[in-house]
């Protein structure tokens, strides 16, 4: 064997784990090779340094209490299944309790106030409000425009200054009477129209209030329907 | 009478018998194993990881794995080998996570510089001096720390745990010749490191 082939045997001999036959062969080589002998001595010195100056280890006494945890660790084996089983049992008991409670104390159906006024609570679309016809307002506007035109034409023919000579188609008195009647008609129509507008506004307001009320009622019905203990009358 | 009770009439149960009892659900056998092995295991792990707190965690985890995987223990195997395998893998995992392969030996200090290196003549002045011994130990530990992990593992298992080469080979799952080879190169590298510092 060459010198560099004895490495494993050097190590085995240092720790006393070499066969007798290998030991004899190694000693014969050492007797003829000074370099290998010196190398083996150096390895021995290094091993001695390593043995005498290795990493110091503090006392492991502090470790012992931690081992106590192991006494309970066994309980952790299969802990997931045990927890799942306990959870399932608790859930089953809870469901059973609810079922018994419902059977023993049935809840009375909720009757909503205001549901007797003819509103079909089962059909929220039935509470729609009719809109105010737009043609009425257009008609009012046309009437006012006509009156304004008639009044304008009459005032055009009235003399603005003394000495004005306009074609006289009527006496001044008749014109004043015509203007007076027109103004009276105008005021009357305006009063009637204002009354109509006020009535329309009030009606619209009343309709809006009624619509809001019905909307609230419908919402209450819809909310109540989510409760399994509420059934429509 | 439980398993351990029967054993006490005959004699101390072997580690493997205790593992068999553990497989059968006898928790007291685990306690026996812990009492028997906690100190050697702690000393080994403490030399492999940097901090004593980490060593305690690794020991704790090792015994927990022994508990959880006792059914995977093969009959005919040695418990100590199996336990060291678990602990070594945990140490490697921890070192890999922390990316501290260079610091897994319980030292954590940098290699001595030229100014702090121990000269050989210092050993001759007063070998028993505490300061010199401390510096020498520091140099050895630093040199050990600079070794590749596979060589350091072998040196620790052999030198400080006193395991046979065959047992180390089983722990590392490699041929016995590989263990001896790593031992040789590790020891030779350590010698060269110390020699550069004038120690050997």
Cβ–Cβ under 8 Å, residues A8 and B184: yes
Report the pLDDT averaged over residues A125-141: 59
Confidence at residue B124, expressed as pLDDT on a 0 to 100 scale = 37
Both tokens of A129, joined, read 């409000």
> In chain B, what residues touch A77 (CB-CB under 8 Å)?
67-68
Confidence at residue A194, expressed as pLDDT on a 0 to 100 scale = 83
Confidence at residue A134, expressed as pLDDT on a 0 to 100 scale = 65
- Summarize pLDDT for B120-174 with one digit per residue, the tens: 333 333 445 566 667 888 888 888 888 998 999 999 999 988 899 999 999 999 9
Question: What is the C-alpha separation between B160 and B150, in angstroms, rounded?
Answer: 15
Tell me which residue in B30, B105, B141 faces A70 most closely, judged by beta carbons.
B30
| Window 6-45 of B, Cβ < 8 Å to A | 27, 30-31, 34, 38-39, 42-43
- Summarize pLDDT for A169-217 with one digit per residue, the tens: 555 666 677 778 788 887 888 888 888 888 888 888 888 888 888 777 7
Residues of chain B scoring pLDDT < 50: 1-8, 101, 104-127
Between residues B108 and A6, the one the model is more confident about: A6
Q: Taking the mean position of all CA atoms in its chain, how far away is CA B86?
A: 11
For chains A and B, CB pairs below 8 A equal 115
> Rounded to whole angstroms, what are the CA distances from B34 to B2, B28, B156?
19, 10, 21
Confidence at residue A171, expressed as pLDDT on a 0 to 100 scale = 57
What is the 3-state secondary structure of chain B? CCHHHHHHHHCCCCHHHHHHHHHCCCHHHHHHHHHHHHHHHHHHHHHHCCCHHHHHHHHHHHHHHHHHCHHHCCCCCCHHHHHHHHHHHHHHHHHHHHCCHHHCCCCCCCCCCCCCCCCHHHHHHCCCCHHHHHHHHHHHHHHHHCCCHHHHHHHHHHHHCCCCHHHHHHHHCCCHHHHHHHHHHHHHHHHHHHHHCCCC
> In chain B, what residues touch A12 (CB-CB under 8 Å)?
165, 180
Between residues B113 and A81, the one the model is more confident about: A81
Report the pLDDT averaged over residues A68-85: 55
Tell me which residue in B38, B39, B67 faces A74 most closely, judged by beta carbons.
B67
The average confidence (pLDDT) of chain A is 71
Both tokens of B4, joined, read 């351990």
Report the pLDDT averaged over residues A44-65: 72
Question: Lowest-pLDDT range, A71-80, A131-140, A151-160?
Answer: A71-80
| Window 122-141 of B, Cβ < 8 Å to A | 133, 136-137, 139-141
pTM above 0.80, yes or no: no
Between residues A40 and A66, the one the model is more confident about: A40
């Amino acid at each position: 064997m060459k010198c560099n082939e004895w490495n494993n045997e050097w190590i085995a001999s240092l720790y006393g784990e070499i066969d007798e036959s290998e030991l004899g062969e190694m000693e014969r080589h050492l007797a003829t090779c000074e370099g290998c002998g010196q190398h083996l001595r150096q390895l021995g010195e290094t091993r001695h340094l390593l043995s005498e100056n290795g990493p110091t280890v503090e006392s492991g006494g502090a470790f012992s209490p931690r081992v106590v945890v192991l006494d309970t660790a066994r309980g952790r084996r299969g802990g997931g299944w045990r927890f799942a089983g306990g959870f399932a049992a608790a859930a089953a008991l809870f469901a059973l309790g609810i079922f018994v409670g419902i059977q023993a104390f049935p809840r009375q159906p909720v009757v909503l106030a205001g549901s007797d006024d003819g509103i079909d609570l089962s059909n929220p679309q039935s509470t729609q409000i009719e809109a105010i016809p737009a043609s009425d307002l257009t008609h009012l506007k046309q009437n006012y425009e006509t009156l304004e035109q008639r009044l304008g034409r009459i005032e055009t023919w009235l003399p603005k200054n003394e000495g004005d000579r306009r074609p006289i188609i009527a006496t001044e008195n008749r014109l004043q009477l015509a203007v007076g009647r027109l103004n009276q008609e105008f005021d009357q129509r305006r009063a009637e129209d204002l009354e109509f507008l006020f009535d329309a506004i009030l009606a619209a307001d009343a309709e809006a209030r009624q619509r809001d009320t019905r909307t609230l009622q419908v919402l209450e019905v819809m909310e109540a329907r989510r409760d399994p203990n509420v059934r429509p009358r | 009478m439980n398993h351990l009770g029967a054993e006490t009439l005959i004699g101390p149960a072997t580690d493997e018998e205790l593992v068999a009892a553990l497989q059968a659900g006898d928790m007291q056998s685990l306690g026996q194993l812990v009492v028997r092995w906690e100190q050697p295991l702690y000393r080994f792990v403490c030399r492999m990881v940097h901090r004593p707190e980490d060593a305690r965690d690794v020991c704790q985890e090792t015994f927990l794995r022994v508990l959880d995987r006792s059914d995977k223990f093969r009959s005919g195997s040695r418990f100590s080998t199996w336990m060291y395998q678990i602990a070594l893998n945990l140490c490697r995992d921890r070192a890999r996570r922390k990316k501290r392969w260079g610091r897994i030996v319980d030292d954590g200090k940098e290699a001595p510089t030229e100014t702090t290196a121990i000269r050989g003549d210092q050993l001759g002045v007063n070998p028993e001096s505490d300061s010199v011994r401390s510096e020498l130990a520091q140099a050895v530990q630093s040199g050990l720390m600079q070794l590749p992990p596979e060589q350091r593992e072998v040196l620790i298992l052999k030198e400080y745990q006193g395991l046979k080469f065959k047992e180390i080979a089983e722990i590392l799952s490699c041929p016995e010749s590989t263990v001896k080879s790593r031992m040789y190169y590790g020891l030779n590298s350590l010698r060269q490191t110390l020699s550069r510092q004038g120690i050997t």
